Structure 1
Amino acid sequence: MTKTAEQIAESHVFEADVARLLHMMVHSVYSDRDVFLRELISNAADACEKLRYEAIETPLLLGADAENRITLTLDEDNRQLVVEDNGIGMSRDEMIEALGTIARSGTRVFMERIEANKAAEGAQLIGQFGVGFYSCFMVAERVDVISRRAGTQEAWTWTSDGKGSYSVSPETTLTVAPSRGTRIVLHLMEDAKQYTSRWTVERIVKEQSGHVPVAIRLVEKPGKEPVQITDGTALWTKSKSDVSKEEYTDFYRSVSGQYDEPALTVHFRAEGRQEYTALAFIPGTQPFDMFDPERKDRMKLYVKRVFITDDADLLPRYLRFVRGLVDTADLPLNVSREMIQESPILTAIRKGITSRIITAIEKLAERDAEAFLKFWENFGPVLKEGIYEDIERRPQLLTLARFRTSASNEGYRSLVDYVKDAKEGQNAIYYLAGGSLDQLKASPQLEGFRARGIEVLLLTDSIDSFWTMNAPDYEGKAFKSITQGAADLAQFAKLDGHTMPEGDNESAATFLAFAKEKLAGQIADVRASDRLTESAVCLVAPEEGYDRQMEKILRNAGRLQDAAKPILEINLLHPLIKAIASVEDDAPYQEDAAFLLLDQARILDGDRPADPRRFAERLARVFQRSVPS
């Protein structure tokens, strides 16, 4: 600065309680220091947009430099970062008004002027709160702003350390002042010198401001040639017909951090009460964080192509495998632009995006069964969480769901298929939940249903035990666990090859009553079974309460201290039961047999004997009795 300039430099105090507000900005409003660069780039983009608008009436404002740009210059030696644009620039009065008053936004005033003229069409203005600029004091111990208003000769310098005052003076050094626009010089703090690293700055720009409507260039060191790092275009603003599959794939990889190809791309623009653009991808493989306990969605929110947050809950948690973004100009923001206000607009956007994604999945199921099954194998366990959580879309999600069943062999079946092939008079959709498919297929509770040709859903995901309790029915048929309550199978005839010789079972019925008396302390009831055709015994849960699998989940999680006593079902026609019942003159033997049958049922159910030592003792006595003397 020349001596003359020094003599006429003006000192000012901020027109607000700057010490308090800047402290809030630095320590409370922004949780991530990186956002300062996003804010400065947003302001620079606004300045270029203002110039574009004013040049419509006054083309001379552009002069010979018609291409808008933003340039970032790194100076590691002097610990400086420079952010420069060739936009509209500021006069002295505009500089004092825009930078000297906290929470007064030149952008907002500009928008109000445009609206008054009813000529705001196409003006893409980002910042409207006037505090984003001050975030630079999180990283800078001093900030110099040198600006020249387009169409004027005078340039001005604004300088402040953010602690209560600032100065404004004429800038007469030609090499310092831009020919048009604004140059912001950040004198970085010692602990902020990483912002002179090309890798750091380029990463922040691409993550947070890679799609602002102005090209961004980077100068790695003063005197070096600038390198363009963004081109000022946003893929999602283009028409779908103008974007190639390769471009979608490249963009998907950039937002997801994965190297596969998207299984499904959903790209649309919503118009009406809310206007926004969404670009969402369903990955071709499971993301590594799909089962993150926090279950957060991974959609990014942009406002007018400026990244705002990736924590806006734009999708329900059961669609957290989706990657992509939403760009809107309608969403209200708070002063920091980081915390999105809960509002009817956000709710409408979330609802609209969710509906479009589920519709796209439905269309995939209709047109490409093979691709849909691959999608289901990857994301079915997560999508089923929506059956439990999303009452409004539950019918859609139930129709989308695919299941392994007792009739599907190695394939999948839909509920539409199940209902279509249900037995006449069958008013329930039967299911069996457990830890593995092999375990379920070998379950004794399944025998009676298989013998009668009644299809049973085989559910192996933890969420299955929850949604089946919440989903009341599908197409009028209630969901019913085959491990709970009575099977009510007598109305259905057994298939050929699944009958057992009837014979006299009077002694077996007598043994059943005996077992019920001896086991009374451990079980709720002992009853004859119509669900068993091959096994001698099985356990089922009472009609009210939880089924067997749900009890295990809650017990293992420490959420169920006192589980309901199970019911022991005995197949009175099984040869083992008849053999035990025929020994009517040996009550100690029948008592040991009753307890061993109960432990056998526990083992078949995936549990251990209640008392391993007594189990072994009883087993030894039974073996000894069977050995000829």
Structure 2
Amino acid sequence: MPTETFEFQVEARQLLQLMIHSIYSNKDVFLRELVSNASDALDKLRLAALRDDSLDADVSDLHIELEIDKDAHTLTVRDNGIGMSYDEVGQLIGKIANSGTAEFLRELREAKDAAGAEGLIGQFGVGFYSGFMVADEITLLTRRAGETEGTRWTSRGEGTYTLEEADAAPQGTSVTLHLKPADPDNQLHDYTSVWKIKEIVKRYSDFITWPVRLVGEPESEGDGPAEAETLNSMKALWARSRGEVSEDEYHELYKHISHDWREPLETIQLQAEGTFEYQALLFVPSHAPHDLFTQNSQRGLQLYVKRVFIMDDCEALLPPYLRFVKGVVDAQDLSLNVSREILQQDRHIRMMQRRLTKKVLSSVKTMMAGDAERYTTLWREFGAVLKEGLVTDSDNRDAVLAVSSFATTHGEDETVTLKQYVERMPDGQEDIYYITGESRQSIDNSPHMEAFRERGIEVLLLTDPVDEVWVDAVGEFEGKRLQSIAKGEIDLDAQGDEESEGEREKQAEEYGGLLGWMREQLDEDVKEVRLSSRLTVSPACVVADAHDLTPALENMYRAMGQEVPRSKRILELNPDHQLVKGLNQAYKEREDRSELAETAELLYSLAVLAEGGRPADPAHFVKVVADRLERTL
């Protein structure tokens, strides 16, 4: 049969040029595409040989071969797989010229953004043509297993391609790339370089099932002929059972993908079967990276499709609050030509994210129940990140809460879950009490803690920034309200105690005048001045109203660029403190209360300092204190 020349349709030519010049930002992926095609051909031959005992095909050494020819400036990707017949070459390799191209281009033009366009092209399956990014001409030589005649396909990726029969074609397919002239100033794209080919295969095709062997010229003059060298490990650990893999092998893979020299804290394996199959091998690190809370930190899992590497940090596979988890996910039914935007929309990816999230949380729960030391390490390193899920992941909020633990006033090094806290609440306690702050030391010394410490009531000590947010998102646990001891009114006296009620009424009458006067004096800063039941040692404290934002939360929103109106606080006075008693007595006895106004201002500033804040005018505060100290000498 003579050589036949076929002309691409106008639409096909446009599509080919678009694919070559616009789709792949990284030209190295051409080799990934060709090696993946070769791997598929080997898979198909193995399956065909199992189904048909009479198939005249050699399956004794199935492999992929890469051949470099520096003199001819070519790179050949060869396999001894299923191969193609003459008609199949026209249908499969010539698919870009099929009648559906015009309809495809119409959809492409209607795509609203680049992500949508790339998704359509990925579905169209033109990865073979990525070779034209690096080659001026491609020659394909193939023979279908069991047949005697081969086929040669040649094209320069422009207007035409040729098809002809080939008598001496070996079983399988070879794709020879006549490479574009190399840039002497850019060795990164020298695809006749052994080190470059090794790098690409290691990165993208290390775990495919079949050996990828490199043959070609020696790297330096005087060396003998280069022997075939297998470039890929073929060790897809995630596809093997736990009993077949040693812990050292798992740890080596973790170190390879995470660039962490320490061993992981936990190894998690998952194999999903059914309509959508995938395997996952995940690792929980033993320590937090330095960039865990930076916006541009590298996060996400490595994504493979049929053991072919797709991307290094696929963020769509896990929610942001599990960003510390490292690992590999290998899907069977995704396209190789996927972008991050497509992955975010893909229902299979969303399904995987839900399953992987539940698997990680259940593994943490198992660790929590069975290995306190490892759980303590995990929570110390990643607890602040995990708690973000209490705010952002309502579907898994209960699961996140079940593996969360918190520092408490009932132990220096002890943490408790909300369930444990509720179980040891004394009779009569209706709320789960907590306090937030920048550090344990600062909130341990907070005046808000005084009455709780005196009565032995347990308080959760929350010192992570996210704690200011999740407590409002969760609201309650097992019917018990989460109550900040620094917000709203808190009455720790026994309900219905007539003696306590009478004492409070008496104090309210005794201090009524002072409270109203101080409210007027501090009008710019406070919305109310009242007597406190939470103070036993300090003279005063400031609290937020029940539904107000805390100062820390206000600062957080402002740091994110959100305008938050400044809210006035509530000043609470300790009626049993000598300073407050003396101030009340002086208020009643003096007509000139100018100096008392200064005392009221100092009292408020001291309360602000006690909770870790700062006076509105520090210089003025220092001057007033210095003047008062001078008068005492």
Please indicate, yes or no, whether the TM-score normalized by the shorter chain is above 0.5.
yes
Q: Equivalent of 1:588, from 570, 585, 594?
A: 594
Query: Aligned pair 1:180/2:171, yes or no?
Result: yes
For the residue of structure 2 that corresponds to 1:573, the secondary structure is: coil
Gaps spanning 5+ residues in structure 2: where? 100-121, 219-224, 497-505
Greater shift in the superposed pair: 423-432 or 193-202: 193-202
Whether contact under 8 Å (1:209, 1:307) holds in the other structure is yes
Whether contact under 8 Å (2:65, 2:78) holds in the other structure is yes
Distance 1:206 1:48 in 2: 19
Distance 1:224 1:334 in 2: 32
Distance 1:320 1:504 in 2: 54
For the residue of structure 2 that corresponds to 1:412, the secondary structure is: strand
Please state how far the C-alpha of 1:208 moved relative to its aligned partner. 2.0
Whether contact under 8 Å (1:505, 1:572) holds in the other structure is no
Give the direction of change, closer, same or farther, for the CA distance of 1:555–1:606 in structure 2 (3 Å limit): farther
Distance 1:320 1:103 in 2: 43
Whether contact under 8 Å (1:103, 1:131) holds in the other structure is no
Q: Equivalent of 2:481, from 478, 494, 503?
A: 478
Distance 1:163 1:100 in 2: 13
Counterparts of 1:109-128 in structure 2, within 5 Å, are: none
Distance 1:622 1:292 in 2: 46
Query: Aligned pair 1:139/2:134, yes or no?
Result: yes
For the residue of structure 2 that corresponds to 1:285, the secondary structure is: coil
Aligned residues: CA RMSD = 2.9
Counterparts of 1:346-385 in structure 2, within 5 Å, are: 346-385=349-388
Give the direction of change, closer, same or farther, for the CA distance of 1:336–1:387 in structure 2 (3 Å limit): closer
For the residue of structure 1 that corresponds to 2:231, the secondary structure is: strand
Deviations 1:80-120 (A, max 9, x none): 32211111223333323322231769xxxxxxxxxxxxxxx
Give the direction of change, closer, same or farther, for the CA distance of 1:279–1:103 in structure 2 (3 Å limit): farther
Aligned residue number for residue 120 of structure 1: none
Deviations 1:434-468 (A, max 9, x none): 11121111111111211111111111111111111
Q: Which amino acid counterpart does residue 159 of structure 1 have in structure 2?
A: T
Whether contact under 8 Å (1:395, 1:474) holds in the other structure is no
Q: Equivalent of 1:609, from 610, 615, 631?
A: 615
Distance 1:519 1:153 in 2: 99
For the residue of structure 1 that corresponds to 2:289, the secondary structure is: coil
Distance 2:479 2:558 in 1: 32
Distance 1:22 1:82 in 2: 21
Whether contact under 8 Å (1:275, 1:328) holds in the other structure is yes
Whether contact under 8 Å (2:8, 2:97) holds in the other structure is no
Aligned residue number for residue 563 of structure 1: 566
For the residue of structure 1 that corresponds to 2:345, the secondary structure is: coil
Please state how far the C-alpha of 1:55 moved relative to its aligned partner. 2.5
Q: Which amino acid counterpart does residue 137 of structure 1 have in structure 2?
A: F
Q: Which amino acid counterpart does residue 139 of structure 1 have in structure 2?
A: V
Greater shift in the superposed pair: 27-36 or 617-626: 617-626
Q: Which amino acid counterpart does residue 144 of structure 2 have in structure 1?
A: R
Aligned residue number for residue 194 of structure 2: 198
Q: Equivalent of 1:148, from 143, 161, 177?
A: 143
Please state how far the C-alpha of 1:598 moved relative to its aligned partner. 1.2
Q: Equivalent of 1:618, from 615, 624, 632?
A: 624
Counterparts of 1:234-383 in structure 2, within 5 Å, are: 234-293=236-295, 297-309=299-311, 310-311=313-314, 313-331=316-334, 333=335, 339-340=342-343, 342-383=345-386
Aligned residue number for residue 496 of structure 1: none
Decide which structure has greater helix share: 2
Aligned residue number for residue 113 of structure 2: none
Distance 1:444 1:221 in 2: 78
Whether contact under 8 Å (2:344, 2:350) holds in the other structure is no
Distance 2:199 2:322 in 1: 27
Whether contact under 8 Å (1:589, 1:622) holds in the other structure is no
Please state how far the C-alpha of 1:78 moved relative to its aligned partner. 4.3
Whether contact under 8 Å (1:71, 1:216) holds in the other structure is yes
For the residue of structure 1 that corresponds to 2:292, the secondary structure is: coil
Distance 2:172 2:160 in 1: 24
Please state how far the C-alpha of 1:316 moved relative to its aligned partner. 1.3
Aligned residue number for residue 38 of structure 1: 32
Distance 1:103 1:545 in 2: 66
Distance 1:561 1:312 in 2: 31
Query: Aligned pair 1:93/2:96, yes or no?
Result: no
Aligned residue number for residue 160 of structure 2: 165
Give the direction of change, closer, same or farther, for the CA distance of 1:389–1:595 in structure 2 (3 Å limit): same
Please state how far the C-alpha of 1:49 moved relative to its aligned partner. 1.8
Aligned residue number for residue 219 of structure 1: 215
Whether contact under 8 Å (1:334, 1:340) holds in the other structure is no
Q: Which amino acid counterpart does residue 324 of structure 1 have in structure 2?
A: G
Whether contact under 8 Å (1:539, 1:569) holds in the other structure is yes
Please state how far the C-alpha of 1:582 moved relative to its aligned partner. 3.9
For the residue of structure 2 that corresponds to 1:196, the secondary structure is: coil
Distance 2:564 2:338 in 1: 47
For the residue of structure 2 that corresponds to 1:150, the secondary structure is: coil
For the residue of structure 1 that corresponds to 2:287, the secondary structure is: coil
Please state how far the C-alpha of 1:155 moved relative to its aligned partner. 3.7
Q: Which amino acid counterpart does residue 132 of structure 2 have in structure 1?
A: F
- Normalising by structure 1, we get a TM-score of 0.86
Q: Which amino acid counterpart does residue 6 of structure 2 have in structure 1?
A: H
Distance 1:559 1:595 in 2: 30
Whether contact under 8 Å (1:449, 1:456) holds in the other structure is yes
Q: Which amino acid counterpart does residue 606 of structure 2 have in structure 1?
A: Q
Please state how far the C-alpha of 1:263 moved relative to its aligned partner. 1.2
Counterparts of 1:443-454 in structure 2, within 5 Å, are: 443-454=446-457
Distance 1:258 1:337 in 2: 27
Deviations 1:10-61 (A, max 9, x none): 3221357332111221233333322211110111011112222332325553
Deviations 1:238-288 (A, max 9, x none): 122212211211222222222221211111222344432221111122234
Distance 1:282 1:104 in 2: 48
Please state how far the C-alpha of 1:387 moved relative to its aligned partner. 0.8
Whether contact under 8 Å (1:433, 1:465) holds in the other structure is yes
Query: Aligned pair 1:387/2:390, yes or no?
Result: yes
Greater shift in the superposed pair: 567-576 or 70-79: 70-79
Aligned residue number for residue 466 of structure 2: 463
- Normalising by structure 2, we get a TM-score of 0.85
Whether contact under 8 Å (2:38, 2:78) holds in the other structure is yes
Distance 1:22 1:204 in 2: 24
Query: Aligned pair 1:422/2:418, yes or no?
Result: no
Please state how far the C-alpha of 1:171 moved relative to its aligned partner. 4.6
Please state how far the C-alpha of 1:312 moved relative to its aligned partner. 5.8
Aligned residue number for residue 45 of structure 2: 51
Aligned residue number for residue 413 of structure 1: 416
Distance 1:350 1:576 in 2: 59
Distance 2:507 2:239 in 1: 79
Query: Aligned pair 1:24/2:18, yes or no?
Result: yes
Query: Aligned pair 1:598/2:589, yes or no?
Result: no
Q: Give percent identity, aligned residues only.
A: 39
Q: Equivalent of 1:210, from 206, 225, 240?
A: 206
Please state how far the C-alpha of 1:318 moved relative to its aligned partner. 1.0
Aligned residue number for residue 399 of structure 2: 396
For the residue of structure 2 that corresponds to 1:410, the secondary structure is: strand
Deviations 1:540-582 (A, max 9, x none): 1112221233223234444244221011111121122233344
Whether contact under 8 Å (1:68, 1:86) holds in the other structure is yes
Distance 1:394 1:527 in 2: 37
Deviations 1:460-481 (A, max 9, x none): 1111111111002111111122
For the residue of structure 1 that corresponds to 2:176, the secondary structure is: strand
Whether contact under 8 Å (1:592, 1:622) holds in the other structure is no
Distance 1:470 1:231 in 2: 47
For the residue of structure 2 that corresponds to 1:543, the secondary structure is: coil
Whether contact under 8 Å (1:432, 1:456) holds in the other structure is yes
Q: Which amino acid counterpart does residue 94 of structure 1 have in structure 2?
A: E
Q: Which amino acid counterpart does residue 206 of structure 1 have in structure 2?
A: K
Give the direction of change, closer, same or farther, for the CA distance of 1:523–1:422 in structure 2 (3 Å limit): same
